[in-house]
Amino acid sequence: MTVVIGFEGSANKIGVGIVRDGEVLSNPRRTYITPPGQGFLPSETARHHRSVILTVLKEALEEAGLKPADIDCVAYTKGPGMGAPLVTVALVARTVAQLWGKPLLGVNHCIGHIEMGRLITQANNPTVLYVSGGNTQVIAYSERRYRIFGETIDIAVGNCLDRFARVIKISNDPSPGYNIEQMAKKGTQYVELPYTVKGMDVSFSGILSYIEVRCRAFKWELSSALSCIETLFSMLVEITERAMAHCSSQEVLIVGGVGCNLRLQEMMGVMCKERGAKLFATDESFCIDNGAMIAQAGWEMFRSGQTTELSDSWITQRYRTDEVEVTWRD
């Protein structure tokens, strides 16, 4: 049996997870939450992570009932993400690997989401919609790479929702996206917003600018919340369906923090049903950034013979999904 511990901290979540041969043994995490109307800055987020990461590590080992000697490999998020938080996690992971005498593995954050989604849902070879605060991509596997078929050309969908939440000054607890979803359920009027799909790519900055002006001028928060998520998610469903047609795919897997939005899952489910396809998604315990997803991707990589030398264990804020050679899939 192979046991891998994973450290994740690319944004405002800090998590440590342990995986043993496809079984999640533990997955504690903490979230850095800022006051309404404020985002999270890299330096302050890193400070939060430093203050709790050893506590979370202890919780992960205790919950799994393991000791350092039981761990076979230490995985950490190499990128993409915010620089200061990534460095904090990488330093701890490097230190732990050396103290415990274990091999180290730098993991692509996006691939961590995908491999966690594949493990939990048992999806075979899905078209993947990866939606989070920092990333929006439509992905499919081909010839030892996760190929990006379409993506945002400006801001990520999660970032768009976060900034909208700041405009109307709603709580960031438990997350801006969740609170917007609850507001949208109370909305009764759909207002047409800019809908920008360019081939396989999407653009969200125009929608955000339009909403910011409208909210300040007319105070229509509930209707704007409804209109915002309906428009954003329609764009995502469109490019996902186009990628499915291109790949002759009959499976969709939604991953990333925005992926736990039930309205997005509902809209994607309607599209899949019309195509005779299957939709796979997870709840917030695995959609939202967590240590187990890094452990799972690390487990796959380690089992296929990969490790990261200490001299190569840097971080990179811009680490694209299709840069990674996928040595663990046929």
* Nearest CA-CA partner of 224 in 297, 156, 168: 168
The confidence score (pLDDT) of residue 168 equals: 84
Binding residue per annotation — 261? yes
Query: Model confidence over 196-239: pLDDT tens digits?
Result: 999 999 999 999 898 888 776 555 666 788 999 999 999 999 99
Q: Give one DSSP letter per residue of 279-301, joined into a string.
A: EE---HHHHS--HHHHHHHHHHH
Binding site annotation covers 162?
yes
Q: Is the CB of residue 60 less than 8 Å from the CB of residue 5?
A: yes
Q: Say what the alpha-carbon torsion angle 307, 308, 309, 310 is, to the nearest 10 degrees.
A: -130
Residue 136, pLDDT score: 98
- Average pLDDT value over all residues in the chain: 95
Ligand-binding annotation for 130, yes or no, is yes
* Phi, psi for 21 (deg, rounded to 5): 45, 55
Determine whether the annotation assigns residue 158 to a binding site: no
Q: Which of 73-82, 128-137, 204-213 has the lowest mean pLDDT?
A: 204-213
The annotation status of 132 as a binding-site residue, yes or no, is yes
Mean pLDDT, rounded, for 82-107? 98
Q: Which amino acid is at 198?
A: K
Q: Is 172 annotated as a binding residue?
A: no
Give 21's DSSP letter: T
Element (H, E) at 26: strand 23-26
* pLDDT greater at residue 183 or residue 87: 87
Q: What is the mean pLDDT of residues 293-306?
A: 98
Token pair, residue 173, equals 């607890």
Per-residue pLDDT reduced to its tens digit, 244-291? 999 999 999 999 999 999 999 999 999 999 999 999 999 999 999 999
- Residues 97 and 72: their CA atoms lie apart, in Å, by 10
Q: Was 113 annotated as part of a binding site?
A: yes
Q: Could you report the per-residue pLDDT of 10-44, keeping only the tens digit for each?
A: 999 999 999 999 999 999 999 999 999 899 999 99
Q: Is 199 annotated as a binding residue?
A: no
In one-letter notation, the amino acid at residue 213 is V
pLDDT above 90 (res 160):
yes
The mean pLDDT of 1-7, rounded to a whole number, is 97
Query: Which of 27-36, 115-124, 160-169, 272-281 bottoms out in mean pLDDT, i.e. has the lowest?
Result: 160-169
Q: Is 234 annotated for ligand binding?
A: no
Is 289 known as a binding-site position? yes
